[in-house]
Amino acid sequence: MKAYLTRRYMISASHRLHSDELSPEQNNEIFGKCNNPHGHGHNYMIEVTVSGQVDARTGMVCNLMDLDRVVGKEIVERYDHQNLNLLPEFERNVPTTENLCIAVYDILERGIRFAHLDKVRIEETMMNSFEYAG
């Protein structure tokens, strides 16, 4: 029997949406106020969905403490209260929430060994959320 578990984590981070490959006018046209040279911040809600067989002994897909440990160490510690533009994964990529979603998924795919990583969903604002499933 395959079951799914989704767990939520919160981080606060800042970013500036800007591409060095575009002119200042193009950056302003594409990213608007999100291209502010001083950046802006979000309180991101990250949902991590894993799946697997329900363990007959524990009744769980995975131990929440194991999931919290990996996500806390690999994601929350890495991104919380950071300027995303200054992190290596955004050296050449615009730190959009789409790209953040992909980065989080890639990190967790390498780190979660006790269940299957199905997807990562990030809510940037009440109106915007993004998902990536590999």
pTM of the predicted model as reported, rounded to 2 decimal places:
0.95
What is the percentage of the chain residues whose pLDDT exceeds 70? 100
pLDDT band at residue 64 using 50, 70 and 90 as cut-offs:
very high
Q: Which domain holds residue 41?
A: 2-132
What are 2-12's pLDDT values in tens digits?
999 999 999 99
Summarize pLDDT for 38-62 with one digit per residue, the tens: 999 999 999 999 999 999 999 999 9
Total of domains in the chain: 1
Catalytic one among 34, 47, 74, 116?
34
Residue 75 burial by CB count (10 A; 0-12/13-18/19+): exposed, middle or buried?
buried
Q: Is 116 an active-site residue?
A: no
Q: Read off the pLDDT band of 1 (50, 70, 90).
A: confident
CA 128 – CA 43 distance, rounded (Å): 12
Rounded average pLDDT over 14-43: 96
Is 62 catalytic? The answer is no
Question: Could you say which of 29, 81, 109, 131 is catalytic?
Answer: 81
Catalytic residue check, 81: yes
Q: Find the CATH number of the domain harbouring 70.
A: 3.30.479.10
Candidates 108, 81, 21; CA nearest to 31 is 21
38/9 Cα distance (integer angstroms)? 26
